[in-house]
Amino acid sequence: MNGRGQGSPLLEVKDIRLSFKGVKAIDGVSFEVYPGELFAIIGPNGAGKTSIFNCLNQVYRPQEGDILWKGQSIMGLKPNRTAELGIARTFQNIALYPHMTVVENILTGRHIRMDTGWLSNALWLGRARRAEVEHRLRVEEIIDFLEIEQWRKHPVGLLPYGVQKRVELGRALAMDPELLLLDEPVAGMNLEETEDMARFILDIQDELGIAMILVEHDMGLVMDIADRVMVVDFGRRIAIGPPAEVQRNPDVIKAYLGEETGAASDRAQPVG
Amino acid sequence: MLGRPLLRTSYEADMALFPSVTQRVVFALFLLFLVAIPFFAPGTIGESGSLPGPTFLGTSDWLRLLVTLGIYAIGALGLNILTGLAGQVSLGHAFFMAVGAYTAAVFGSPQGPLWGLGLPIWIWLPMAGIVPAILGTLIAPAAVRVRGLYLAVVTLGLVFIGEYLWRNLDFITGGSQSGRTFPALEFRFWQEEEAVLSMTEPATWFGVLNMSPTAKTYLFVLVLTAVMALVAKNLQRTRTGRAFMAIRDRDVAAEVMGVDEFRTKTLAFAISSFYAGIAGALLATFIGRTIPEQWNLNMSVEFIAIILIGGIGTVTGTLLGSAFVIILPRLVADLTQLGERLVREGGTWATILDPLVSTGSGDWGLVNTSAGVAPGLSVDQLNLVIYGVLIIGFLIFEPLGLYGIWLRIRNYWKGWPFTY
């Protein structure tokens, strides 16, 4: 399949460490993501999954370690620069612009692909007008792809949760990314919505060839669709590999189910 | 197309400002009405008097109010870009208006005891926008670091710094005692004696139209307001406006989507200050002479009131809000006078209005026309009370302001006679 997971890595994360005033959110995590790959990160609540995402687009700055995008360090860039490089993301708690319509929301994803300045926009010059129409076309393609035509002109704040999740995915897709970070795309969805979303994710991988990192608690979904899985716990990587392999890893089982004996361990201590 | 006027077949048609024929016709008629207003004045046409028709808006008194309305609308459009679109609450609008006004004075007024370069309007009016915009860009780095209430306090500081500055820069502002005059609205190519088009002298156009200075100023301000409103609308519906709204709604998400927060907020400050400067310059030249204390916090609050009452984040709402806030005090004053007259005349109306209107020191009433003499509130105080009540009311019941009310009325009739 279109050579996914082949070649040099798209993204390399090298031993990043992030702490907030002594609380270690990420404690030395390393992994690579290859072009076209569907890479999943799983772990118990508070394991540092979303923090890893925030480091990848530099909303948080890890104190140690390095993050390489196509071999170049992205450490210290502004978040909007990482977007221009080709890293898009969705959020765990939907972060759409509630007062704007679906079309407008997805159009903001085109922001980095448009080059009209404020002056030509203010005067509605031919250039600005053409750009608006041209990018609207692309937005309509995405709307078509995600099957949200009927909500096109609705303010997203009024839409049902499942649809909002799709719009958010659309906004990220509109950025024409090479890597898509999906933070719990099916959280709080029913079975049907989950299956729809899984279909969209697989379509994105197959048809658009975009690499994805997926953070998700729905184990069934992760094990079904991910190419590789990384398990994190307490900010540390405890396993990485194909889903079937990870599932059998004793450390993973321990992290999720606890230990069989009551022996004192890190897990047994209350977490502050 | 005749068969299905609401069928849109291109994205360009979908993005049009007035997508339906009805909207276009109504808007054109409204514009025509606005242009025609000064011609309803008695004495506008030739020797014989006015155009046949209503003269209710023609007296120069009301026309002056409309000019003020247009100028305030320009200022409010600017604040709406900063506060309504980009979500940055600013109380410093009066400061930037003052900068615009004094820039206009320095560039446009003839050299006298105060600074003045005596340049024509096509230099001083744009400069009155550009200089505040540059100043806004310089101040923005300090302002974009703080949010919400803190930003309001920072910008509040601007107004007070400004008042201090204007009092002490008396070689520009004329100081608190006398203030200064501002350049007249006159078109000159350069500094020649005779103005090409003067808005301070009456003239006869096309041999029949007697144009008073106010009528000409009105038309000039009308054109400017329309252009500025169109520009604001264009900004709102394109990439720039979407970046503003994205920063307003979710700043972290906007950044992750590639919107440069710093640049975007700075741009919002600059554009908003440009509008403020133009409005300030026009207001000052229209009033003729102002003292530094005029550009105070009250003025900033008036603009906040306009965008809140009108409907925050919308161009239409801002225009509605300007009309409301400017015309309301006049209506209150007129109605109070009418009430007073009716009470004096006696009869049924007197009985109803007596508790409301005070006619003299002995007569109790809610409102009076002779401030300080009769009991009750003065008209100005009553206006303040009404503003306050309206702002609170709109914030609680209709956050979209007058525009929201208009939307509801429109949607009701769209579906009529069905409920939805």
Q: Strand B203-205 to strand B209-211: parallel, antiparallel, or no bridges (unpaired)? A: antiparallel
List % helix, strand, coil for chain B (3-state, nearest 5).
65, 5, 30
- Is the CATH code 3.50.50.60 the one for domain A1-86+177-192+209-272? no
Q: Which of A229, A204, A197 is nearest to A215 (CA)?
A: A229
**Residue A53 near residue A67, CB atoms below 8 Å:** no
* CA distance to partner chain A, nearest, from residue B145 (Å): 15
> B206 vs A174, B58, B211, B404, CA distance in Å?
56, 20, 10, 43
Quick one: pLDDT band at residue B142, thresholds 50, 70, 90?
confident
Q: Which of A254, A192, A266, A194 is nearest to A224 (CA)?
A: A194
A99 interaction partners in chain B (CB closer than 8 Å): 245, 249, 313
Could you tell me the residue ranges of all domains in chain A?
Answer: 1-86+177-192+209-272, 93-175
Tens-digit pLDDT profile for residues B81-122? 999 999 999 999 999 999 999 999 999 988 878 888 888 999
Contacts of B355 (CB under 8 A, 6+ apart): B364, B365, B366
Answer yes or no: is pLDDT of B57 > 70: no
- Residue at token pair 């970070």: A181
Contacts of B357 (CB under 8 A, 6+ apart): B336, B339, B340, B343, B365, B366, B367, B368, B369
Quick one: pLDDT band at residue B419, thresholds 50, 70, 90?
low
Alpha carbons A205 and B81: distance in angstroms, whole number: 40
Q: What pLDDT is attached to residue B1?
A: 45
Alpha carbons A240 and B83: distance in angstroms, whole number: 48
B254 interaction partners in chain A (CB closer than 8 Å): 97, 108
**Which residue in B has a C-alpha nearest to residue A124's C-alpha?**
B234
* CA distance to partner chain B, nearest, from residue A261 (Å): 44
**Residue A58 near residue A151, CB atoms below 8 Å:** no
Dihedral (C-alpha) B57, B59, B64, B70: value to the nearest 10 degrees?
A: 20
Tens-digit pLDDT profile for residues B262-304? 999 999 999 999 999 999 999 999 998 888 888 999 899 999 9
Rg for chain A, CA atoms, rounded: 20
Which of B11, B249, B254 shows the shortest C-beta gap to A137?
A: B11
- Identify the weakest region by mean pLDDT among B20-34, B119-133, B195-209: B195-209
Q: What pLDDT is attached to residue B280?
A: 96
Extended beta strands in B251-351, E state: 289-290
Q: Which of B70, B15, B367 is nearest to B226 (CA)?
A: B70
The proportion of chain B whose per-residue pLDDT surpasses 90, expressed as a percent, equals 43
State whether A83 and B249 contact (CB < 8 Å): no
Q: Strand B357-358 to strand B367-368: parallel, antiparallel, or no bridges (unpaired)? A: parallel
Which of A97, A124, A136 shows the shortest C-beta gap to B246?
A: A97
Interchain CB contact of A136 with B (< 8 Å): yes
Which of A79, A97, A122 shows the shortest C-beta gap to B234?
A: A122
How confident is the prediction for chain B on average, in pLDDT? 86
Alpha carbons B188 and B185: distance in angstroms, whole number: 10
Interface test with A, best of B239, B247, B267 (most A CBs within 10 A): B239
Range with top average pLDDT, B34-43, B96-105, B147-156, B358-367: B96-105
B130 interaction partners in chain A (CB closer than 8 Å): none
* CA distance to partner chain A, nearest, from residue B250 (Å): 6
Q: What pLDDT is attached to residue B276?
A: 97
DSSP output for chain A: -TTTT-SS-SEEEEEEEEEETTEEEEEEEEEEE-TT-EEEEE-STTSSHHHHHHHHTTSS--SEEEEEETTEE-TT--HHHHHHHTEEE--SS----TTSBHHHHHHHHGGGG----HHHHHHT-HHHHHHHHHHHHHHHHHHHHTT-GGGTTSBGGGS-HHHHHHHHHHHHHTT--SEEEEESTTTT--HHHHHHHHHHHHHIIIII--EEEEE-S-HHHHHHH-SEEEEEETTEEEEEE-HHHHHH-HHHHHHHH--SS----GGGSPP-
B11 interaction partners in chain A (CB closer than 8 Å): 132-133, 136-137, 140
A97 interaction partners in chain B (CB closer than 8 Å): 245-246, 248-250, 253-254
Q: What pLDDT is attached to residue A5?
A: 56
State whether B253 and A122 contact (CB < 8 Å): no
Contacts 24+ apart (CB under 8 A), B112-120: B114/B171, B114/B172, B114/B173, B114/B174, B114/B180, B115/B171, B115/B172, B118/B191, B119/B191, B120/B186, B120/B187, B120/B188, B120/B189, B120/B190, B120/B191
B226 CA to centre of own chain? 12
Q: Which of B291, B272, B90 is nearest to B178 (CA)?
A: B291
Q: What pLDDT is attached to residue A269?
A: 47
A131 interaction partners in chain B (CB closer than 8 Å): 239
Interchain CB contact of A104 with B (< 8 Å): yes
Q: Which of B82, B222, B85, B225 is nearest to B155 (CA)?
A: B82
- Residue at token pair 């540390």: A236
Dihedral (C-alpha) B206, B212, B213, B215: value to the nearest 10 degrees?
A: -80
Residues 193-222 of A with CB under 8 A from B: none
Tokens encoding B354 = 């007596």
Interchain CB contact of B61 with A (< 8 Å): no
State whether B243 and A78 contact (CB < 8 Å): no
B245 interaction partners in chain A (CB closer than 8 Å): 97, 99-100, 104, 108
Alpha carbons B305 and B325: distance in angstroms, whole number: 8
Q: What pLDDT is attached to residue A100?
A: 92
Alpha carbons A54 and B283: distance in angstroms, whole number: 49
One digit per residue, pLDDT tens: chain A, 272 residues?
444 556 789 999 999 999 998 888 999 999 999 999 999 999 888 888 999 999 999 999 999 999 999 999 999 999 999 999 999 999 988 899 998 999 999 999 999 999 888 999 999 888 899 999 999 999 999 999 999 999 999 999 999 999 999 999 999 999 999 999 999 999 888 899 999 999 999 999 999 999 999 999 888 899 999 999 999 998 899 999 999 999 888 888 888 777 665 444 444 444 44
Contacts of B6 (CB under 8 A, 6+ apart): B20
Alpha carbons A159 and A154: distance in angstroms, whole number: 7
Q: Strand A87-89 to strand B186-187: parallel, antiparallel, or no bridges (unpaired)? A: unpaired
Q: Which of B283, B270, B184, B295 is nearest to B225 (CA)?
A: B283
Answer yes or no: is pLDDT of B257 > 50: yes
Interchain CB contact of B18 with A (< 8 Å): no
Q: What pLDDT is attached to residue A15?
A: 93
More confident residue, B383 or B320: B320
Quick one: pLDDT band at residue B229, thresholds 50, 70, 90?
very high
Quick one: pLDDT band at residue B79, thresholds 50, 70, 90?
very high
Tens-digit pLDDT profile for residues B164-219? 999 999 888 888 888 888 888 888 888 777 788 888 888 877 777 777 888 889 99
State whether residue B396 is helix, strand or coil: helix
Q: What pLDDT is attached to residue A271?
A: 42
Alpha carbons A84 and B230: distance in angstroms, whole number: 31
Contacts of A201 (CB under 8 A, 6+ apart): A38, A182, A185, A212, A214, A225
Interface test with A, best of B256, B273, B312 (most A CBs within 10 A): B256
**Residue B222 near residue B70, CB atoms below 8 Å:** yes
Tens-digit pLDDT profile for residues B356-384? 777 766 677 777 766 666 677 788 888 88
